Amino acid sequence: FKPWRGLIETYRPYLPVTDATPVITLLEGNTPLIPVPYISQQIGKGVKVLVKFDGLNPTGSFKDRGMTMAISKAKEEGAKAVICASTGNTSASAAAYARRAGMRAFVIIPDGYVAMGKLAQALVYGAEVIAIEGNFDDALKIVRGLSENYPVTLVNSINPYRLEGQKTAAFEVVDTLGNAPDWLCIPVGNAGNISAYWMGFCQYHQQGKCDRLPKMMGFQAAGAAPFILGQPVPHPETIATAIRIGNPANWDKALGVKEASQGEFNRVTDEEILEAYRLLAAQEGIFCEPASATSVAGLLKVKDQVPAEATVVCVLTGNGLKDPDAAINNCNNQVKAGITPDLSVVAKVMGF
């Protein structure tokens, strides 16, 4: 038995770190690749679907993979403070890793559009949280300007170390499957993660760790689908607040990934997202946040295109506990409340 030492130590030869890099880690990574038999059955044709549940990282999202790298490198470079714009998960992760490294963490969020759990995390980790009356795209513009003019390091996914860390998720998928999957389905917001996965698959392919590359299938929420419309969306709207983004920073990279992998971008409605979200929880026992269910919603939408016998990995980017309001308001289930504390009464309510 070898204890897990975090993704920088595990994948050190593949990452831009040296002996001089202080490794700031919460032992992120090593998340499970879980088979989902009910969803596989919905596709049929002998297709095998698995989910990479990155919501099981230390702060509950895939952002920790990028943040261990970004914060370690910021520390190495002597930074005293970091800053990010965020729909919630980046802010939670930046706050945790920055505080662990003894740095200040400034997070700029769209007021009223960050899920409760994420806001709670940023606050309790000790970030300095600034809510603007604007959306994520406005916040990103501001933090870019601030990081150019003040001594604060930007840790959004335009920081190249973020993608370096996030590419390790692709390594783990290949290490577990023994090869790359045929398809990789992934939610797309700012398009950092899809770019990072592709980097990871290509790097492993060059090293001979896999003999094929996946078709990269990127899915956006219909109300925030700039890649499908082919232009920025000025007022993005979706229940999946994590991907409520109209002007993705990694635009060119993502288009390159689509082309190089012969992949596709598609959009799913909020109702399709919620349907996949409920199905994952109630049929598979896997509770992710709404934005994450976009990958499964997308797969179900294009299921006719999946080749027979294919292996498909859907990325579940964040934990369902991040957004308890979305869960309670959308789960078609409710508490049977106001029951007399009496065994026979409770038995009757149970239907016995």
Binding-site entries for pyridoxal 5'-phosphate: 89, 189-193, 317
Dihedral sign for Cα atoms in the order 31, 37, 42, 48: positive
How far apart are the C-alpha atoms of 117 and 323, rounded to whole Å? Answer: 6
Shortest CB 240 distance to ligand F0G, Å: 8
Q: How many CB atoms lie within 10 A of CB 134?
A: 16
Q: Which is nearer to ligand F0G, 47 or 125 (CB)?
A: 125
Centre a 10 Å sphere on the Cβ of residue 105 and count the other Cβ atoms it contains. Answer: 27
Q: Say if strands 311-316 and 183-187 run parallel, antiparallel, or are unpaired.
A: parallel
Of 86, 121, 168, 266, the residue at the interface with ligand F0G (CB under 6 A) is 86
Nearer to ligand F0G, 50 or 310 (CB): 50
By CB under 6 A, residue 191 contacts ligand F0G: yes
Of 6, 58, 165, 189, the residue at the interface with ligand F0G (CB under 6 A) is 189
Q: How far apart are CA 246 and CA 105, in angstroms?
A: 25
What residues does 79 pair with on adjacent strands? none
Q: Residues annotated in the binding site, as ranges?
A: 89, 189-193, 317
| Shortest separation between residue 295's beta carbon and ligand F0G, angstroms | 9
Contact status, residue 106 vs residue 81, Cβ threshold 8 Å: yes
Q: Which of residues 295-324 bind ligand F0G (CB under 6 A)?
A: 317-318
Stretch 234-253 residues interacting with ligand F0G (CB under 6 A): 242-243
Residue 61 contacts ligand F0G per CB under 6 A: yes
Closer to ligand F0G by Cβ: residue 147 or 292: 292
316: DSSP letter: E
Q: Where do runs of H (alpha helix) occur along 5-59?
A: 7-10, 37-43
Q: Which residues contact ligand F0G (rule: CB under 6 A)?
A: 61, 63, 86-90, 157, 187-193, 242-243, 289, 291-292, 317-318
